[in-house]
Structure formats: C-alpha cells, structure tokens
C-alpha cells in the first residue's frame, strides 16, 4: 500500500512539474500596444527574424527527432506564424487585383 501511494505521489509530482516547462517554450506574440509602438523598421526586422526562424525549423531533418521534439517544433512554428499574421499585412492576389480594377472601371 505504501509503495502504491509513494509511486502515485512521485508520478503526480513529475507530471505537474513538467507542465510549466512545456508551457514556457511557446513564443508569445507581442500585445497590440507593443506592436502599435513599433516603428516600421522594427516591424520589418521582427518579420525578417520570424521568417528566418521558420526557414530554420522547416530545414530541420525531423526523421532523427523524438516525438516530443517534433511537437515542440510544431508548436513553435504555429506561434511564429500567428505572430507574423498579427502584423496586419494585407496580401492581394493577382486575380483579386484584376477583379478590383474591373469593378472600379465599371462603377466609375
């Protein structure tokens, strides 16, 4: 009985102690106020850093990694992509641009 209780306590301690370590690894995007205070040069520099890190992650040979390491890379990649999309960058495709020009010509 003592052995079972001891094993249960050790297991719970290890499980609860590991959760904050995994939670701290994810990259947190900056707040809206911090992004508004950034100059365009700082934004561009941060976007360049994000793109470089995404390229590094994608170039890693995942066949040699453990399941936990792959999950770590996946969560970091998701958080970096979310941060990059938070910079309010608007991309207009060629098809959308053509339709927009046609609508402007028809309406005016």
Interacting residues of 76 by C-beta distance below 8 A, sequence separation 6+: 25, 26, 27, 53, 57
74 domain-assigned: yes
Tell me how far apart the alpha carbons of residues 71 and 65 are, in angstroms, rounded to a whole number.
10
78 within domain boundaries: yes
Flag whether 79 is in a domain: yes
Full-model pTM:
0.52
In this structure, is residue 55 part of a structural domain? Answer: yes
Classify residue 19: in a domain, yes or no: no
Taking 70 as the threshold, does the pLDDT of residue 15 lie above it?
no
pLDDT per position as a tens digit, 69-87: 999 999 998 888 888 877 7
Q: Is 85 among the domain residues? A: yes
Q: Does a structural domain hold residue 100?
A: yes
Number of domains in the chain: 1
**pLDDT for residue 8 is more than 70:** no
Q: Tell me the pLDDT of the chain averaged across its residues.
A: 77
Domain that holds residue 63: 28-107
Asked if residue 9 is part of any domain, the answer here is no
Q: What is the spatial distance between Cα 73 and Cα 70, in angstroms, rounded to a whole number?
A: 5
Dihedrals φ, ψ of 36, to 5°?
Answer: -70, -30
């Amino acid at each position: 009985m003592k052995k079972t209780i001891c094993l249960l306590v050790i297991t719970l301690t290890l499980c609860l102690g590991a959760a904050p370590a995994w939670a701290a690894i994810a990259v947190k995007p900056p707040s809206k106020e911090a992004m508004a205070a950034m100059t365009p040069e700082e934004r561009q520099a941060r976007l360049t850093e994000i793109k470089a890190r995404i390229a590094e992650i994608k170039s890693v040979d995942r066949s040699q990694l453990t399941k936990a390491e792959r999950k770590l890379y996946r969560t970091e990649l998701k958080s970096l992509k979310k941060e990059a999309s938070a910079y309010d960058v608007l991309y207009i495709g060629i098809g959308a641009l053509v339709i927009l020009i046609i609508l402007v010509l028809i309406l005016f």
